[in-house]
Amino acid sequence: MPDLVPVILLGVGNVGRALVRQIIDLRELHAHRLRTRFDLVAVADSDGAIFEPAGFSDATLETLLSYKAGGGKFRQHELGYDQGDLTGLVDVAGDDGAIVVDLSASAATIPALESALDRGYGVVTANKLPLAADLLTWQRLTDHRRMRWEATVGAGLPVIITLHNLLDTGDEVQRIEGALSGTLGYLSSELEKGTLFSVAVREAKACGYTEPDPRQDLGGLDAARKALILARMLGYPLELADVEVESLYPADMDSLSVAEFLAALPALDEMYAARTAQARADGKRLRYVAEVGGGQARVGLQPLAPGNRVAQVSSSDSIVVFHTARYSDNPLVVSGRGAGAVNTAAGVLSDMMALV
């Protein structure tokens, strides 16, 4: 009989649903390779949670997947915790060996994650917000050995485990550079092809590559949070405000509605066309780059020599290049598809498997 591992899932959007799908579909593999059965006992969304101490059956999970894919909300909250009280939910639903999985996009999960770790449970997060919160929260969360966050940088790519391995084996990591945003990677290669900035942003939005409000991607904060996580792993005592972030639109466009913002974008076309032309004239390629090194972190648009590994990555992929004492001549590179619900869920699942 496989060991039952109780799982409490916070957030059941695109990645959460992909994870539940993988848990159901990989039952045999998990029983065979790990003698484990991930037993979902509680699932929370932004409105409430459902809880089944004996674990939800796969048939119930299928219903849950359809319900959430159709935009349904959980409202059940009479089980000893208040609606929205995720710490109460973890307290009620947790058990020995439990794993709390944060696939929300909210910092409201932080107290629940801390409580789970204090109780000795495992915590896996793809949600960057808790790890990009203040330094004290970072320390409180990552001081625990049962905290894992592979999918926060590069989705399913083995970025975090590679960095852990380098640090744990005493390598000296001097610098990390990378392209960490599929959306901004897409935009920079469209600019390179000669597409107008405003057209490229509208196309990216139409294809679903951006958030409904594209400023959330264009502002660079998501890439900055990833750079901050890597920097903190190197021991740099940085806050998010210390990360130098180049936003791809001016701050005065923040006050506009989404429609007004999209309508105003052509005003930026000339400037981006000039930057792209200058990069081309210098024999370089424009890329939105994250750089971590020398105690600092920054993200922004940079002209890169064509031989630079970050310049070579295909538009929607991610790449992380580790320059270390051991990998001095030829850096250690992790690259590939660095986004998408299925790949992200696989990164989360790999953390869950490592915990058991």
Longest dimension (CA), the chain: 65
- Rounded Cα distance, 26 and 291, in Å: 37
Q: Is 73 in the site for ligand NAP (CB under 6 A)?
A: yes
- Stretches 4-12, 250-258, 262-270, 314-322: which one binds ligand NAP (CB under 6 A)? 4-12
Choose, by CB under 6 A, the member of 5, 8, 113, 151 that binds ligand NAP: 151
Q: Is 44 in the site for ligand NAP (CB under 6 A)?
A: yes
Q: Is 105 in the site for ligand NAP (CB under 6 A)?
A: yes
- The residue (of 93 and 268) whose beta carbon lies closer to ligand NAP is 93
Q: Is 344 in the site for ligand NAP (CB under 6 A)?
A: yes
- Stretches 9-17, 32-40, 134-142, 210-218: which one binds ligand NAP (CB under 6 A)? 9-17
Smallest separation, CB 83 to ligand NAP (Å): 10
- Rounded Cα distance, 106 and 108, in Å: 5
- Stretches 75-83, 252-260, 318-326, 340-348: which one binds ligand NAP (CB under 6 A)? 340-348
Q: Is 16 in the site for ligand NAP (CB under 6 A)?
A: yes
Q: Is 10 in the site for ligand NAP (CB under 6 A)?
A: yes
Choose, by CB under 6 A, the member of 22, 127, 137, 195 that binds ligand NAP: 127
Tokens for 15, please give them.
């990645």
Torsion of CA 217, 221, 225, 231, to 10 degrees: 120
| CB-based burial, 158-167: b 16+ in 10 Å, e otherwise | bbbbbbeebe
Task: Provide the 8-state DSSP code for 237.
Answer: -
- The residue (of 64 and 341) whose beta carbon lies closer to ligand NAP is 341
Q: Is 226 a catalytic residue?
A: yes
Q: Is 113 in the site for ligand NAP (CB under 6 A)?
A: no
- Rounded Cα distance, 163 and 167, in Å: 6
Q: Is 219 in the site for ligand NAP (CB under 6 A)?
A: no
- Rounded Cα distance, 212 and 139, in Å: 33
What count of Cα atoms within 13 Å lies in the side-chain half-sphere of residue 252?
3
Among residues 68, 128, 205, 226, which one is catalytic? 226
Q: Measured between alpha carbons, how far is residue 136 from residues 38, 142, 334 in Å?
A: 31, 10, 29
- Rounded Cα distance, 54 and 352, in Å: 20
- The residue (of 212 and 306) whose beta carbon lies closer to ligand NAP is 212
Q: Is 101 in the site for ligand NAP (CB under 6 A)?
A: no
Q: Is 292 in the site for ligand NAP (CB under 6 A)?
A: no
**Sheet strand arrangement including 36-44:** 49-51, 36-44, 3-10, 99-102, 122-125, 147-148
Smallest separation, CB 340 to ligand NAP (Å): 5
Binding residues for ligand NAP, total number by CB under 6 A: 27
Cβ atoms within 10 Å of 271's Cβ, excluding its own = 11
Task: Name the residues that contact ligand NAP, by CB under 6 A.
Answer: 10-16, 44-47, 73, 86, 103-106, 108, 126-128, 151, 155, 339-341, 344
Question: Active-site residues: which are they?
Answer: 226
